[in-house]
Amino acid sequence: MNVNKSSLFWGILLIAGGGLALAQQMGYIDQFSETIWMWVFAAVSLLAFLSYALSGWKEWGWLFPAGVFGGLAVTVALATSSVDTAAVGSPLFFGLLVPFAAAYLTDRSKNWWALIPGGVMLFLAMTTLLVDSVGGEWVGSMFLFLIGLSFLVVYLNNRTRTWALLVAYILGVLSIAPAMASGRGDMAAYFGPVFLFAVGLPFFVLYFRSVENWWAIIPAGVMTMLAIIATLAIAGWVRDTQTGGYSNAILMGGLAVTFAVVWLRHARPWAKVVSIVLAGLTIVSVFFASYYEIFWPVAIILVGGYLLYTALRPKTVH
């Protein structure tokens, strides 16, 4: 006869626990002290862990009672030792983390899902452990980072799950914001440039992975230059019309270099025209930095005039 060891374990445990509670309620035995409960929880945890070991380290479900009751035993021990911080609850979450970690390590391809609840348990454990000593902003950053890390491991376990990599990247970038908000002064404002550069970073990766992704250098260059200009503005470098003109020159120059790469490295003739125009705008921005307000209207007029000229000029016949 096949015996379900898990059902047998829980059945005996529940009957014993229920009988003990009934005996206490009817006054047959005195209320147990916290120390006795600690040793009871520890014994149940040890029994469940031994069952897991005897299964050949395969039936990771035994680690749920082992982790839960082990965590409860440590929690009771901390409480009786006059520890009155939120850290008292962390052993329970660490105990719940153990079975999910074991499930993943037992069969990484089948039990990849265990990384997600495992990441949640790790966050809850770290939160209760550190919440009294760190600010709430850092807790928020840690939550986003750990959940993102869980999805990253899901991707690394199976490279076809690109959706998991995307989720991990987004959460990783967002995790920076709360931590920066805890800084002094305008530190939180710098998340804008960080976010802009983070948006451009995947395009750099695409560009350097394959020559066929030549187009990716354009959004990568644009987002990078916007991040640089935003950083200069937040740092106070852009203070008046003249410095605004110079920042415009930096933007135009960076974009000119971006399209020059497309032209020279990837032989795209149209990029030659764009890079030359942007280079000209860079020079104009430097010489007319004090007239920053009229730069863009004049630039638009010049571009429009060039397009009009190309449309009306006589076509040469070869």
Query: Distance between the two ends of the chain, CA-based, in angstroms?
Result: 94
Model pLDDT, residue 37: 79
Question: What's the rounded mean pLDDT across residues 108-120?
Answer: 85
Question: What's the rounded mean pLDDT across residues 66-81?
Answer: 88
264, 197, 167, 147 alpha-carbon torsion, rounded to 10°: 140
CA 230, 236, 240, 242 torsion-angle sign: negative
Q: Is the pLDDT of residue 317 over 70?
A: no
Look up residue 108 and give its two tokens.
């990484």
Determine the distance from the C-alpha atom of residue 120 to the mean position of all C-alpha atoms in its chain, rounded to a whole number: 13
Model pLDDT, residue 5: 62
Lowest-pLDDT choice from 36-50, 154-168, 265-279: 154-168
Own/partner pairs, 101-108, CB within 8 angstroms, 24+ separation: 102/60, 102/63, 103/60, 106/57, 106/58, 106/60, 108/157
Q: Is the pLDDT of residue 67 over 60?
A: yes
Question: What's the rounded mean pLDDT across residues 234-256?
Answer: 75
Q: CB neighbours of 289 closer than 8 A, spacing ≥ 6?
A: 241, 242, 243, 244, 245, 246, 248, 249
User: pTM for this structure?
Assistant: 0.53
Considering the chain, what percentage of its residues have pLDDT values greater than 90? 7
Q: How far apart are CA 97 and CA 63, in angstroms?
A: 9
Q: What is the mean pLDDT of the chain?
A: 79
Q: How far apart are CA 158 and CA 265, in angstroms?
A: 34
Q: How many residues does the chain have?
A: 318
Model pLDDT, residue 94: 92
Q: CB neighbours of 152 closer than 8 A, spacing ≥ 6?
A: 164, 165, 168, 172
Backbone conformation region of residue 191, classed left if phi is above 0, alpha if psi is from -120 to 50, else beta: alpha
Q: How far apart are CA 43 and CA 48, in angstroms?
A: 9
